[in-house]
């Protein structure tokens, strides 16, 4: 790394030592063991039935992965050069862990749901599938204010669709056929896997001599797949995972020096959910240091805009009701996203608390904007770091938020070390 690299792009020495202990196997073992305990506690105590069902299956998957890592550690003690303890074997265990802790519970719950169980999916799965059905029937995935008001009171929440229009595409299979494989979560998983595979490929192509992915890449993939907050989310709801994976792909393409493709990736994420839009803005600031801001912005801003056009043309008021009024708390019902983070506690406990929380959120946004203008990120590492900490601050300060949203900052910060060496500003740039 050159002196031009910002301090925020440097991986802390303590983390490097922990991550490298026993060739990375020490942290692998801790990850799977702690995750097994978390899944077991979830299976026994969660008040959400899809979460309990996930925990019962995932606890076994994490335990088997931990036992596999223990065998790898034993092999490493016998000989550090053992293939069983090498990086390819760690990738294999990660793939097994994702299959048993996310994909298997997902398919199992999807099959039970197709057989008639109504407690095997979170609300967002139903919302996305209903949005897809409306898209096929009317040309827009949104219901208007009057149509929602005409529904029984207990059906109004699921009638709202707070996502961007592109999210409805994942529900199209269910709109056309009924079966476990048409569950929206199956297609969330497919989209996530494809985006992560492309991200790893981009980093491989950017590495010297096309070498295999480095340990930091594996750690980043683990954070986006087998970490409980991600595996649980994919198996029970899942709409955030393809958005996250596309953000990681955009950062990997930035590290590979491909701003145009990075813009398309983050634009696709922005056409699914608003969470990708702050990442797009930081990426545009990064591209400006390479004289590529326009190339990146064409995809980053153009794709979400194109996705909005049909909904605007068919029913503009329905789009505003779902995408703006409802998330801001002005819909016919209140969002159930009420995790006890500081923003929610301030909004509910203090006089004019929502105004105070909103002011703090705006202050953080202004601070990040000033930082981007005065010292724009010159590497993909710094870009990912700013995105991670920025989203963490936003999630903590939003009046209505979910614990599961933490998967964004956690995965982005874990992905940053995998981007080291890519996305540098060219030496000839001013």
pLDDT (tens digit, 9 = 90+) per residue, 240-264? 999 999 999 999 999 999 999 999 9
Please, which pLDDT band fits residue 270 given cuts at 50, 70 and 90? very high
> Using N-to-C axis directions, what is the helix angle for 407-415 and 380-397, rounded to 10°?
160
Verify that 78 and 133 share a domain, yes or no.
no
Verify that 95 and 156 share a domain, yes or no.
no
Q: Has residue 172 got a pLDDT over 80? A: yes
pLDDT reported for residue 4: 39
Domain termination site, one of 120, 149, 169 = 120
CB 298 within 8 A of CB 259: no
Within a 10 A sphere around the Cβ of 419, how many other Cβ atoms?
27
What would the mean pLDDT of 282-310 be, rounded to a whole number? 96
Q: Has residue 51 got a pLDDT over 90? A: yes
> Is pTM beyond 0.85 here?
yes
Domain termination site, one of 93, 120, 147 = 120
Measured distance CA(418)–CA(215) in Å, rounded: 8
Verify that 112 and 222 share a domain, yes or no.
no
Verify that 110 and 203 share a domain, yes or no.
no
Please, which pLDDT band fits residue 213 given cuts at 50, 70 and 90? low
Q: Has residue 216 got a pLDDT over 80? A: yes
Helix ranges, 79-183 (H) = 87-98, 104-114, 123-138, 145-149, 156-159, 172-176
- Residue 4 counted as domain residue: no
pLDDT reported for residue 385: 96
CA distances from 249 to 191, 193, 365 (A): 12, 11, 24
Q: Has residue 277 got a pLDDT over 70? A: yes
Please, which pLDDT band fits residue 336 given cuts at 50, 70 and 90? confident
pLDDT reported for residue 5: 41
- Residue 427 counted as domain residue: no
Verify that 101 and 189 share a domain, yes or no.
no
pLDDT reported for residue 340: 84
Please, which pLDDT band fits residue 421 given cuts at 50, 70 and 90? low
- Residue 86 counted as domain residue: yes
Domain termination site, one of 70, 93, 120 = 120
Verify that 136 and 23 share a domain, yes or no.
no
Verify that 79 and 160 share a domain, yes or no.
no
- Residue 151 counted as domain residue: yes
pLDDT reported for residue 350: 82
> Comparing 128-142, 304-318, 371-385, 398-412, which segment has the lowest mean pLDDT?
398-412
Q: Has residue 239 got a pLDDT over 90? A: yes
Domain that holds residue 112: 16-120
Question: What size, in residues, is the chain?
Answer: 430
pLDDT reported for residue 426: 41
Q: Has residue 399 got a pLDDT over 60? A: yes
Verify that 57 and 172 share a domain, yes or no.
no
Measured distance CA(205)–CA(203) in Å, rounded: 5
Verify that 26 and 138 share a domain, yes or no.
no
Please, which pLDDT band fits residue 211 given cuts at 50, 70 and 90? very low
Measured distance CA(165)–CA(13) in Å, rounded: 43
Verify that 298 and 404 share a domain, yes or no.
yes
Verify that 234 and 93 share a domain, yes or no.
no
For the chain, what is the mean pLDDT? 90
Structure tokens at 272: 């699914």
Question: Phi and psi dihedrals of 57, rounded to 5?
Answer: -85, -45
- Residue 3 counted as domain residue: no
What would the mean pLDDT of 191-209 be, rounded to a whole number? 87
Nearest to 332 by CA among 324, 321, 343: 321
Between these two residues, 281 and 7, which has the higher pLDDT value? 281
pLDDT reported for residue 91: 95
- Residue 399 counted as domain residue: yes
CB 160 within 8 A of CB 148: yes
Number of folded domains in the chain? 2
What would the mean pLDDT of 60-75 be, rounded to a whole number? 96
> Comparing 26-30, 281-285, 402-406, which segment has the lowest mean pLDDT?
402-406
Verify that 275 and 177 share a domain, yes or no.
yes
Measured distance CA(302)–CA(166) in Å, rounded: 13
pLDDT reported for residue 49: 95
- Residue 426 counted as domain residue: no
- Residue 5 counted as domain residue: no
């Amino acid at each position: 790394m050159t002196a031009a690299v910002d301090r925020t792009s440097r991986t802390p020495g303590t983390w490097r030592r922990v991550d490298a202990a026993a060739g990375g196997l020490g942290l692998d073992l801790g990850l799977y063991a702690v995750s097994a305990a978390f899944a077991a506690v979830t299976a026994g105590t969660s008040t959400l039935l899809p979460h309990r069902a996930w925990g019962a299956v995932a606890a076994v998957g994490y335990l088997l992965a931990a036992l596999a890592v223990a065998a790898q550690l034993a092999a490493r003690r016998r000989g550090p050069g053992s293939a069983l303890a090498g990086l390819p074997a760690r990738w294999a265990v990660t793939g097994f862990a994702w299959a048993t802790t996310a994909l298997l519970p997902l398919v199992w719950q999807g099959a039970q749901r197709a057989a008639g169980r109504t407690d095997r999916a979170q609300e967002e799965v139903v919302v996305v599938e209903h949005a897809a059905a409306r898209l096929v029937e009317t040309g827009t995935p949104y219901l208007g204010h009057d149509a929602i008001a005409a529904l029984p009171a207990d059906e109004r929440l699921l009638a709202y669709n707070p996502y961007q229009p592109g999210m409805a595409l994942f529900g199209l299979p269910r709109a056309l056929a009924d079966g476990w494989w048409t569950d929206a979560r199956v297609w969330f998983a497919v989209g996530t896997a494809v985006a992560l595979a492309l991200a790893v490929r981009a980093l491989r192509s950017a590495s010297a001599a096309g070498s295999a992915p480095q340990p930091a890449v594996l750690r980043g993939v683990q954070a986006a797949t087998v970490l409980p907050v991600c595996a649980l989310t994919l198996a029970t709801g899942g709409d955030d995972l393809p958005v996250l994976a596309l953000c990681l792909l955009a950062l990997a393409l930035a590290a590979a020096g491909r701003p145009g493709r990075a813009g398309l990736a983050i634009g696709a994420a922005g056409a699914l959910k608003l969470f990708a839009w702050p990442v797009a803005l930081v990426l545009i600031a990064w591209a400006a240091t390479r004289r590529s801001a326009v190339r990146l912005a064409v995809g980053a801003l153009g794709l979400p805009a194109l996705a909005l056009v049909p909904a605007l043309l068919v029913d503009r008021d329905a789009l505003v009701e779902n995408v703006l009024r409802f998330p801001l708390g002005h819909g016919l019902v209140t969002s159930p996203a009420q995790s006890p983070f500081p923003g929610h506690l301030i909004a509910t406990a203090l006089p004019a608390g929502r105004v105070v929380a909103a002011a703090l959120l705006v202050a953080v946004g202004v601070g990040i904007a000033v930082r981007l203008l005065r010292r724009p990120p010159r590497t993909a590492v710094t870009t990912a770091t700013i995105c991670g900490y920025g989203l963490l601050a936003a999630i903590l300060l939003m009046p209505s938020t979910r614990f599961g949203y933490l998967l964004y900052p956690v995965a982005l910060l874990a992905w940053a070390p995998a981007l080291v060496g890519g996305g540098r500003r060219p030496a000839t740039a001013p």
